[in-house]
């Protein structure tokens, strides 16, 4: 086989876990290397994914058509009511706008769209080019907000001004402007906001139901099945429960500082972490032991039902090897545990946006010989999938064809998925999907199994 | 407020087009051993990869110079050079296809100059890849313009002067891998040497890999493209594609290779024209196999004509696809009550009129530069029997309960878009069968009896 080398400048972004060996900290939190085919996107993408599920707002992309076209209805984030988030709006800047500025076009677009769709708010995303031609988006937003009476929020998401993480921050910044503007009367003392849960395939509904069963009021979900009015009163909650730590920790910290709301980090993937996320919330309300009792009750009932149904999968999958490459590192931790619970080991674990602490923890969790990568690329991923003889890759759309080309099973754990993988029911779906892909007889024809021709 | 409007016109809503660099990346993918490279932000490459992967189900690596704030302020030259060096090292490409983005175009990077500097600075390194540069600012035109810009830039970079050869250049436009394979089969059956560009029939629809390929096998070799200037003729599909923007146009201007320019050969009439042209250029008769295909198609037209006559449809997509489809639809008695495109060449109506001079009497309406909200508004008034176009029309199809026949690009909600034929007798046959079956299925479902014979 062709020897695949790691690019200069990339060596520090990956290592193989070896006990005893002195291993330097992984290099991360940097922008991608020029010319390396990163699986990451840009600042705009970060903002867009965080705000996307807000369903009663207009999301207007200020720039040439591409950015809006490629993000039109691409996520599995569902809404129980309005569906404005599934439409794509762009100022579709043309050459003349680039020369003379796009402010007028932005203004007219906004006024017309707000009149047509009557949204509760509007998010205006600036793209690369807007950062260059110097449109004063803030001024246009203020003007339109004054004229229409709804919040019109600029999102400074120029693609080149940082990494996807900076986009998360820009989105959270826009959300911070809404939070605190609503009425918090009547919100229970036993209340939370669910942060970083985007309601892919209805996952936020599953989670919300657990918490509500525990007697906890969910003030708002940021941003799954999101509503502007709910966001506005999020500061009335007693606790922030943060999933997808990459995108929302900043917001949780801001809310802690400004409104004194503490936060905890959780994950809803896998039995262990899902249960923990209920217990951890219950622990925050010690004065009400019923909450913990209810949490235990939920876990016990759910696990009793789930556990036997997983055994078939575990039996088939024991000894199989998985590679994980997803957006956030926190998800990687859960997936390692979830895979272990169905008998699988992890030979590669990586993320697009993990930080130093995340990678240190990954190293601690992983088995000897596991490859740990930050901001990887198709060449590296393929190299390690083959070398480590993985049977499964967990990733998103861009990773899927790599797995299938190499004759390896695949589980989609990204924003596009249509099947809920969170919660106890999500664990079942996850195991089923992994089982159906890894155990499919079609791989017998894959060249790596030795069938030549 | 004085903006009394029914539907917001200033913003583009649910665009019926994609951006310029996407088309360039796809075209570069049709060159052997070539890596597409976007000079801009990381997101452009990633979004475009995602979009293409969802249709073609193939890995597609697109490198990016990955702009930072400093590059935007001081120019992207440094990043582009590092990027080229890294791509050369990691992929060992023979060709790098560099397309610009709105970002690098707006700051005014002089890409050809940067490439010249790069070649100077690294001339003693490993073999230097061939570098092709296409200017593809996203604020001009749409993906199809980027596609043609890349094909033209490729020929411009590689084609050489020399004695005439018995060689035909084929520039098929943005068609499916299956269509490209079909065109190659025809040329091979005619035993006619050809240079087809771009050929992503294998790179975007290939087999499994026993080992990792940095660049998938397939594509038109650079050495073959070099011969394009010595060809005896170029055949170029694309009614709205002007010579000044096309590869064949360049070859005619620079090397005197005659450009035979036509609509996409969809339908019997346009396919006949294509085969007749091939026969006259090659001085050979088409193999009987193609007459058989044609005869079967005419037979199918007869068998299915009643289902389709006077059906009314809306066709949308790239302008050239819309023109080609309109030719097919009118020859089988279907009226395209609206021919729509997000593209804006200014030539759509004229091109349709050339093929169908009585278009107005037939009730064919043409609109370019529209988005899906415009098309939906028309659909509500026109009440077509079905919609024909890519997956992105599904939203309006569902909302208005009008069946959608999927073709072209992208097909994101069905399987096998890359293997769908559109061109020639074979493609027409496939399209015709699908059209008839759509009507039959409609009637069967609508019937209270549940016929098993239709």
Residues 6+ positions from B211 with CB-CB distance below 8 Å: A1, A2, A386, A447, A448
The pLDDT, as a whole number, for residue B2 is: 44
The pLDDT, as a whole number, for residue A1 is: 44
Chain A positions in Cβ-Cβ contact with residue B49 (cut-off 8 Å): 398
Chain A contact probe: residue of B5, B8, B40 with most A CBs at under 10 A: B8
The pLDDT, as a whole number, for residue B213 is: 86
How many degrees, rounded to 5, is the angle at CA B97 between CA B93 and CA B102? 140
Percent of chain A with pLDDT over 90: 73
- pLDDT tens digits, one per residue of B103-131: 999 999 999 999 999 999 887 766 799 99
Residues 6+ positions from B142 with CB-CB distance below 8 Å: A65, B17, B18, B19, B20, B23, B342, B343, B344
Among A39, A71, A160, the residue with its CB nearest the CB of B69 is A160
* Whole-number Å distance between alpha carbons of A309 and A287: 36
Average pLDDT over residues A107-120: 97
The pLDDT, as a whole number, for residue A398 is: 84
Size of chain B, expressed as the number of residues it contains: 454
Residue whose tokens read 């309006």: B396
The pLDDT, as a whole number, for residue A246 is: 75
Judged on CB neighbours under 10 Å (0-12, 13-18, 19+), B189 is middle
Chain A positions in Cβ-Cβ contact with residue B218 (cut-off 8 Å): none
The pLDDT, as a whole number, for residue B125 is: 65
CA distance to partner chain B, nearest, from residue A447 (Å): 5
Helix axes B20-28, B143-158, angle to 10 degrees: 40
Q: Is the pLDDT of residue B4 over 60?
A: no
The pLDDT, as a whole number, for residue A11 is: 75
Say whether A68 sits in a helix, a strand or coil. Answer: helix
Cβ–Cβ gap B1/A111 under 8 Å: yes
How many CB atoms lie under 10 A from the CB of residue B298? 11
**B316 φ, ψ to 5°?**
-140, 160
CATH architecture of B20-143: 3-Layer(aba) Sandwich (3.40)
pTM of the model: 0.94
CATH architecture of A43-178: 3-Layer(aba) Sandwich (3.40)
Chain A positions in Cβ-Cβ contact with residue B107 (cut-off 8 Å): 132
Residues 6+ positions from A453 with CB-CB distance below 8 Å: none
Confidence band for B344, pLDDT divided at 50, 70 and 90: very high
CA distance to partner chain B, nearest, from residue A238 (Å): 37
Q: Is the pLDDT of residue A36 over 80?
A: no
How many degrees, rounded to 5, is the angle at CA A61 between CA A178 and CA A114? 60
The pLDDT, as a whole number, for residue B102 is: 93
Contact A179, A234 (CB under 8 A): yes
CA distance to partner chain B, nearest, from residue A343 (Å): 27
Confidence band for A5, pLDDT divided at 50, 70 and 90: low
Specify the CATH superfamily of domain A191-298.
Nitrogenase molybdenum iron protein domain (3.40.50.1980)
Token pair in block for residue B295: 């005869």
Cβ–Cβ gap B53/A40 under 8 Å: no
Contact B62, B97 (CB under 8 A): no
Task: Tell me which H or E stretch contains A89.
Answer: strand A89-90
How many degrees, rounded to 5, is the angle at CA B430 between CA B427 and CA B432? 105
The pLDDT, as a whole number, for residue B423 is: 98
- pLDDT tens digits, one per residue of B178-195: 999 999 999 999 999 999
CATH 3.40.50.1980 residue spans of chain B:
20-143, 299-446
Residues 6+ positions from B36 with CB-CB distance below 8 Å: B24, B25, B28, B29, B60, B61, B62, B63, B97, B99
Confidence band for A3, pLDDT divided at 50, 70 and 90: low
- pLDDT tens digits, one per residue of B247-266: 999 999 999 999 999 999 99
Task: Please give the distance of CA B291 from its chain centroid, rounded to a whole number.
Answer: 27
The pLDDT, as a whole number, for residue B38 is: 96
Contact B392, B35 (CB under 8 A): no
- pLDDT tens digits, one per residue of A271-314: 999 999 999 999 999 999 999 999 999 999 999 999 999 999 99
Cβ–Cβ gap B45/A37 under 8 Å: yes
CA distance to partner chain A, nearest, from residue B156 (Å): 24
Residue whose tokens read 């007869």: B302
Among A7, A31, A133, the residue with its CB nearest the CB of B68 is A31
Chain B: residue whose CA lies nearest to A446: B208
Chain A: residue whose CA lies nearest to B413: A74
Same fold, A191-298 and A318-417: yes
How many Cβ pairs within 8 Å bridge chains A and B?
A: 258
The pLDDT, as a whole number, for residue A2 is: 52
- pLDDT tens digits, one per residue of A75-97: 889 999 999 999 999 999 999 99
Radius of gyration of chain B (CA): 23
Cβ–Cβ gap A128/B15 under 8 Å: no
CA distance to partner chain A, nearest, from residue B168 (Å): 32
How many degrees, rounded to 5, is the angle at CA B73 between CA B68 and CA B78? 60
The pLDDT, as a whole number, for residue B159 is: 98
Cβ–Cβ gap A445/B6 under 8 Å: no
Cβ–Cβ gap B50/A5 under 8 Å: no
Strands B12-13 and A89-90: antiparallel
Cβ–Cβ gap A160/B72 under 8 Å: yes
Q: Is the pLDDT of residue A323 over 80?
A: yes
Chain B positions in Cβ-Cβ contact with residue A448 (cut-off 8 Å): 210-211
Among A68, A94, A109, the residue with its CB nearest the CB of B8 is A109
Average pLDDT over residues B347-366: 96
Please provide the average confidence, as pLDDT, over all residues in chain A. 91
Confidence band for A360, pLDDT divided at 50, 70 and 90: confident
Torsion over CA: B180, B181, B184, B186 (sign): negative
How many CB atoms lie under 10 A from the CB of residue A133? 17
Q: Is the pLDDT of residue B452 over 90?
A: no
Q: Is the pLDDT of residue A21 over 70?
A: no
Cβ–Cβ gap A89/B139 under 8 Å: no
- pLDDT tens digits, one per residue of B271-288: 999 999 999 999 999 999
* Whole-number Å distance between alpha carbons of A204 and A224: 6
The pLDDT, as a whole number, for residue A344 is: 97
* Class of domain B299-446 as given by CATH: alpha beta
Average pLDDT over residues B96-104: 96
The domain segmentation of chain A, as residue ranges, is 43-178, 191-298, 318-417
- pLDDT tens digits, one per residue of B386-402: 999 999 999 999 999 99
In terms of average pLDDT, the best of A10-14, A123-127, A157-161 is A123-127
Q: Is the pLDDT of residue B57 over 80?
A: yes
Torsion over CA: A107, A111, A117, A119 (sign): positive
The pLDDT, as a whole number, for residue B202 is: 97
The pLDDT, as a whole number, for residue B3 is: 45
Q: Is the pLDDT of residue B245 over 90?
A: yes
CA distance to partner chain A, nearest, from residue B363 (Å): 31
- The better pLDDT of the pair B76, B176 is held by B176
Q: Is the pLDDT of residue A38 over 50?
A: yes
Cβ–Cβ gap A397/B61 under 8 Å: no
The pLDDT, as a whole number, for residue B70 is: 82
Token pair in block for residue B8: 């917001």
Cβ–Cβ gap B214/A379 under 8 Å: yes
Confidence band for B415, pLDDT divided at 50, 70 and 90: very high
Fold category of A318-417 in CATH: Rossmann fold (3.40.50)
Please provide the average confidence, as pLDDT, over all residues in chain B. 95
Give the CA-trace dihedral at A47, A50, A53, A59, to 10 degrees. Answer: -10
Cβ–Cβ gap A92/B11 under 8 Å: yes
CA distance to partner chain B, nearest, from residue A431 (Å): 24
- Return the percent helix, strand and coil in chain B, to nearest 5: 50, 15, 40
Cβ–Cβ gap A159/B8 under 8 Å: no
Among A36, A160, A401, the residue with its CB nearest the CB of B58 is A401
Cβ–Cβ gap A398/B11 under 8 Å: no
Chain B positions in Cβ-Cβ contact with residue A407 (cut-off 8 Å): 208-209
């Amino acid at each position: 086989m062709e020897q695949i080398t790691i690019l200069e400048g990339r060596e520090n972004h990956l290592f193989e876990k070896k006990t005893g060996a002195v291993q330097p900290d992984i290099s991360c939190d940097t922008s991608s290397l020029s010319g390396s085919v990163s699986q990451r996107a840009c600042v705009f993408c970060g903002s867009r994914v965080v705000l996307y599920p807000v369903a009663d707002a207009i999301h207007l992309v200020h720039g040439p058509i591409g950015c809006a076209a490629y993000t039109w209805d691409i996520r599995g984030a569902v809404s129980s009511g309005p569906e404005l988030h599934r439409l794509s709006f762009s100022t579709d800047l043309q050459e003349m706008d680039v020369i003379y500025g796009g402010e007028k076009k932005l203004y007219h677009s906004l006024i017309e769209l707000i009149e047509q769709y009557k949204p509760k708010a509007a998010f205006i995303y600036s793209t690369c080019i807007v950062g260059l031609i110097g449109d004063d988006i803030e001024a246009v937003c203020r003007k339109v907000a004054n004229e229409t009476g709804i919040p019109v929020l600029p999102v400074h998401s120029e693609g080149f001004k940082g990494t996807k993480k900076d986009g998360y921050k820009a989105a959270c910044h826009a959300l911070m402007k809404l939070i605190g503007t609503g009425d918090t009367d009547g919100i229970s003392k036993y209340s939370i906001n669910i942060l970083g849960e985007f309601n892919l395939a209805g996952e936020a509904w599953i989670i919300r139901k657990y918490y509500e069963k525990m007697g906890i009021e969910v003030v708002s979900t940021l941003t799954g099945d999101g509503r502007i009015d709910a966001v506005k009163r999020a500061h009335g909650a007693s606790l922030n429960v943060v999933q997808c730590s990459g995108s929302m920790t900043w917001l949780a910290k801001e809310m802690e500082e400004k409104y004194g709301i503490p936060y905890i980090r959780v994950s809803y993937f896998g039995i262990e972490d899902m249960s923990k996320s209920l217990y951890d919330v219950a622990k925050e309300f010690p004065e009400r032991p019923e909450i913990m009792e209810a949490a235990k009750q939920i876990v016990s009932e759910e696990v009793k039902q789930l556990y036997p149904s997983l055994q078939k999968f575990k039996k088939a999958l024991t000894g199989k090897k998985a590679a994980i490459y997803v957006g956030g590192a926190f998800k990687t931790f859960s997936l390692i545990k979830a895979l272990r619970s169905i008998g699988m080991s992890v030979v590669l674990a990586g993320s697009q946006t993990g930080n130093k602490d995340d990678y240190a923890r990954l190293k601690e969790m992983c088995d000897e010989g596991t490859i740990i990568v930050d901001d990887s690329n198709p060449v590296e991923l393929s190299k390690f999938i083959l070398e480590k003889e993985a049977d499964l890759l967990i990733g998103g759309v861009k990773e899927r064809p790599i797995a299938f080309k190499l004759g390896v099973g695949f589980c989609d754990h990204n924003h596009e998925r249509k099947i809920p993988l969170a919660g106890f029911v999500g664990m079942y779906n996850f195991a089923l999907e992994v089982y159906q892909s890894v155990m499919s007889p079609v791989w017998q024809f894959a060249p790596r199994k030795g069938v030549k021709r | 407020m004085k903006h009394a409007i029914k539907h917001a016109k200033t913003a583009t809503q649910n665009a019926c087009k994609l951006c310029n660099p996407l088309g360039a990346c796809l075209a570069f993918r049709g060159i052997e051993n070539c890596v597409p490279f976007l000079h801009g932000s990381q997101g452009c490459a990633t979004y475009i990869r995602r979009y293409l992967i969802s249709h073609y189900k193939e890995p597609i690596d697109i490198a990016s110079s990955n702009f930072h704030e400093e590059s935007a302020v001081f120019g992207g030259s440094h990043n582009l050079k590092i990027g080229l060096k890294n791509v050369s090292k990691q992929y060992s490409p023979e060709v790098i296809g560099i397309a610009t983005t709105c970002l690098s175009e707006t700051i005014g990077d002089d890409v050809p100059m940067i490439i010249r500097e790069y070649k100077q600075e690294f001339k003693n390194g490993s073999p230097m890849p061939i570098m092709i540069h296409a200017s593809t600012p996203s604020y001009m035109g749409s993906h199809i313009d980027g596609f043609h810009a890349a094909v033209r830039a490729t020929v411009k970079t590689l084609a050489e002067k020399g004695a005439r050869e018995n060689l035909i250049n084929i520039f098929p436009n943005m068609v499916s891998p299956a269509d490209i394979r079909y065109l190659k089969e025809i040329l091979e059956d005619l035993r006619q040497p050809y240079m087809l560009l771009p050929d992503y029939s294998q790179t975007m629809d290939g087999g499994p890999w026993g080992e990792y390929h940095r660049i998938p096998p397939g594509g038109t070799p650079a050495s073959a493209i070099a011969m394009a200037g010595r060809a005896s003729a170029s055949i170029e599909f694309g009614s709205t594609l002007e010579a000044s923007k096309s590869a064949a146009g360049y070859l005619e201007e620079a090397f005197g290779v005659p450009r035979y320019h036509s609509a996409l050969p969809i339908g019997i009439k346009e396919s006949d024209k294509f085969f007749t042209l091939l026969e006259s250029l090659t001085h050979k008769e088409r193999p009987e196999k193609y007459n058989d295909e044609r005869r079967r198609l005419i037979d199918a037209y007869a068998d299915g004509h009643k289902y389709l006559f006077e059906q009314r449809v809306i066709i949308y997509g790239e302008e050239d696809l819309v023109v080609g489809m309109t030719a097919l639809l009118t020859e089988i008695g279907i009226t395209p009550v609206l021919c729509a495109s997000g593209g804006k060449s200014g030539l759509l109506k004229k091109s349709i009129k050339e093929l169908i001079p009585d278009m107005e009497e037939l009730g064919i309406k043409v609109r370019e530069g529209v988005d899906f909200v415009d098309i939906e508004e028309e659909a509500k008034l026109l009440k077509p029997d079905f919609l024909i176009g890519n997956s992105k029309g599904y939203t309006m199809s569902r909302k208005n309960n009008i069946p959608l026949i999927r073709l072209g690009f992208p097909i994101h909600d069905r399987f096998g878009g890359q293997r769908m034929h559109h061109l020639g007798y074979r493609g027409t046959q496939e399209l015709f069968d699908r059209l008839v079956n759509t009507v039959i299925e409609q009637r069967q479902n609508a019937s209270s009896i549940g016929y098993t014979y239709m």
